[in-house]
Amino acid sequence: MNVIKKILCVMLVLGMVVSCSKEQTEEPTLENALELSELGLEEVNSQELPFKIKEQLRNSNANFNKYLGGSLQYVSHKVLGKAASDKALENVISMSAQDASIVAIGDLAQPETVSIKTLKQVQKTSNINRKNVVKNLARKTVDKGDIVMELTWEYQGEKITTIALGNEEGISWDNMLSGIFLTEKEAISEDSDVKGTNETARYRSWSESGYKWTFRYAWGAYRGEMFYAVRVTYDLDTREVILVDTRDGANIGWGSGISESAVIGRGRDYGQCRYALGVATSGGSITFDRGNFKVNSNYGGTFVRNGTDVAYVPNRRY
């Protein structure tokens, strides 16, 4: 009987040690961090938001009304404090990267792509990778001294909250706004019949064809772009192609981009290219498949374009 009692005591002690260990290593979550004050934030005396943040939220609501019919709206805020230390900043970032953290994704110009889910629902990958994607992006834009806010939103009649950081220059991170963007598309089409200034290029000109997509934040400010173009350089006298080349690029704030292009054909009066472009926001992932020369959207908030295009010599004389 004494032996059994000793075993039970040992088990009880081990259970307490494991429990304490879990409490010490557990990352702050929205539920326990606010109640237990684990974030280590510095107190602030005012609930007033900086003018730039208020303007961004107001303009975001205007675009949500315009493109989503008001199904998503910013409602209110609560200033929780200031992330005055590196540890506090990391705690807030960790709290934004929980499986249950709310993430919005999609292009306002294509309302059917906009959705709001948990990070776990959006990112079909391992728990560690999910957290690291958000953490690594957030670390690039937030800074020690940022104020920490709890933002309340209404989406299709349901109230939800996110944790945001910002300063006098505006919002530096928020899971809701980081995944939503607005696209604008425009054609790249230029011809130059102006003779070159040096001996080798004086009878050469060029023609270019392609597209550019401009990305904007939910409040309308420039966020990035992706583009491709194929250019044919030709002889001004014979109008025959001398050279074919391409250019490309892809970048987006609060996210990452991939761009590839290559010449795949050339004739007397044309040049052809292949392009693979894509951007991913905080809730998304893209990769480049070199074998098939395409950007793949793996999951979440992405914008991808793959295809071919042709640039022709203008007004070619046969």
Establish if 29 belongs to a structural domain: no
74 with 164, same domain?
Answer: yes
Phi first, then psi, for residue 133 (nearest 5°) are -60, -50
186 with 173, same domain?
Answer: no
List the chain pLDDT tens, one digit each, 318 residues. Answer: 454 444 334 333 334 333 343 334 444 444 444 443 678 999 999 999 999 999 999 999 999 999 999 999 999 999 999 999 999 999 999 988 888 899 999 999 999 999 999 988 887 665 557 678 888 889 999 999 999 999 999 999 999 999 999 999 999 999 999 999 999 999 999 887 655 555 555 567 899 999 999 999 999 999 999 999 999 999 988 889 999 999 999 999 999 999 999 999 999 999 999 999 999 998 788 999 999 999 999 888 899 999 999 999 987 554
Establish if 14 belongs to a structural domain: no
Strands 270-281 vs 180-192: parallel, antiparallel or unpaired: unpaired
Establish if 22 belongs to a structural domain: no
Last residue of a domain, one of 178, 196, 230: 178
206 with 98, same domain?
Answer: no
Strands 102-107 vs 180-192: parallel, antiparallel or unpaired: parallel
pLDDT of residue 12: 39
Q: Please tell me whether the overall predicted TM-score, pTM, comes out greater than 0.75 for this model.
A: yes
CA distance 295 to 71: 31
Establish if 148 belongs to a structural domain: yes
Residue with tokens 């910013």: 74
103 with 193, same domain?
Answer: no
Establish if 12 belongs to a structural domain: no
pLDDT of residue 170: 98
94 with 211, same domain?
Answer: no
124 with 88, same domain?
Answer: yes
pLDDT of residue 128: 57
204 with 99, same domain?
Answer: no
200 with 169, same domain?
Answer: no
Establish if 70 belongs to a structural domain: yes
47 with 172, same domain?
Answer: yes
pLDDT of residue 316: 58
66 with 172, same domain?
Answer: yes
pLDDT of residue 3: 45
Q: How many domains does the chain have?
A: 2
CA distance 215 to 220: 9
211 with 263, same domain?
Answer: yes
Last residue of a domain, one of 178, 195, 217: 178
Contact 255, 227 (CB under 8 A): no
pLDDT of residue 28: 43
Establish if 263 belongs to a structural domain: yes
Contact 68, 218 (CB under 8 A): no
Establish if 61 belongs to a structural domain: yes
153 with 215, same domain?
Answer: no
- Structural domain harbouring 132: 35-178
Last residue of a domain, one of 178, 200, 217: 178
Cβ neighbours of residue 202 closer than 8 Å, sequence gap 6 or more: 195, 196
- Long-range CB contact pairs, 288-296, < 8 A, 24+: 288/258, 288/260, 293/260, 293/262, 295/258, 295/260
